[in-house]
Amino acid sequence: MNNINIGRALRELREASGKQAKAVARSAVMSPSKLSKIENEALAPSLIDVERILAALGVSEEVKARLADAARRAATEATAWRIYRRTGLHKHQDELRAIEAQTSLMRLFQPACIPGLLQTPEYARAILGRHGYTDGVLQKMMGARLLRQQILYDSARSFRFVVTESVLRWKIVSCPMLAAQLDKLITMSRLPNVSIGVVPLSAPMADLPSSSFVLFDTSLAIIEIPHAEITTSEIRDVELYVRKFEGFEGVSVKGKEMRAFVSGIRDGFLRQQETD
């Protein structure tokens, strides 16, 4: 089954359910016009689009599995960041929030910066502000990112983050703001459903931390590279990133050891502030 067939099947499922297109689009976190284009075969749906629409329709597991398998025929897709910037990066944040809301276990590896779900507002602004957005666009993106963080307090879901020590040391913001950001990591690591691991620079590395990626249960992986975001639900690809995550997590420090490690780096920033 190709993408054109998927669009037609999604339209037939919605019509059979009796649900209005606007209601389905709202639940799937997309515009009615986008849903219309998908259903009328004018736009090939992404893997994420298909999963969100099926969730909004509330179809049986059998139907969901059949259509999800059809969507996997495309296996992997890459969306350039310039496309997200053109359509609105804050909308992409909303799309990610919808995926996270349907995920029981999220695992994220980040070798470049503090993960968005753990960022302070000042750190998030510094990261997002490096792309030359207007204040209005930046505010929308900030609001969408901070709204996503609320899911961390849902005890029904589990979150496992792994970052490299270098992430804690990059001077993205001033020393006082970095200290506040590391304090937030320490605080969030105390949540019973949140695990934060740090891979020390001295740890033996069996793999290269070449790119950040996030795993949603065992069904979807999203990988970030400089010019694009790659999405795959191909089982073999997802399993590859599961093994990568477990490898990095296996050499990370967690719990009390992690908090002591991060506290030492934080204190270094505070001392540096005093001497500046």
User: Which tokens in the block code for residue 12?
Assistant: 């037939």
Could you give the C-alpha distances from 44 to 7, 67, 87, in angstroms and in order? 7, 14, 16
Tens-place pLDDT, residues 252-269: 999 999 999 999 999 999
pLDDT over 80 at 91, yes or no: no
pTM of the full structure: 0.72
Do both 104 and 208 map to the same domain? yes
Radius of gyration of the chain (CA): 20
CA–CA dist 103, 215 (Å, integer)? 9
Q: Say which DSSP state 107 is in.
A: E
Which DSSP helix (H) or strand (E) runs through 164?
strand 158-164
Q: Report whether 197 contacts 252 (CB < 8 A).
A: yes
Whole-number percent of the chain with pLDDT over 90: 52
In this predicted structure, the answer to whether residue 2 has a pLDDT above a threshold of 50 is no
pLDDT tier at 50, thresholds 50, 70, 90? confident
For residue 55, give its domain range.
3-74
Higher pLDDT residue, 48 or 124? 124
Residues 125 and 236 both lie in one domain: yes
Give dist(CA 46, CA 30) in Å, integer.
12
Name the domain boundary from 74, 97, 114: 74
CA distance 146 to 186: 18
End position of a domain, from candidates 14, 48, 74: 74
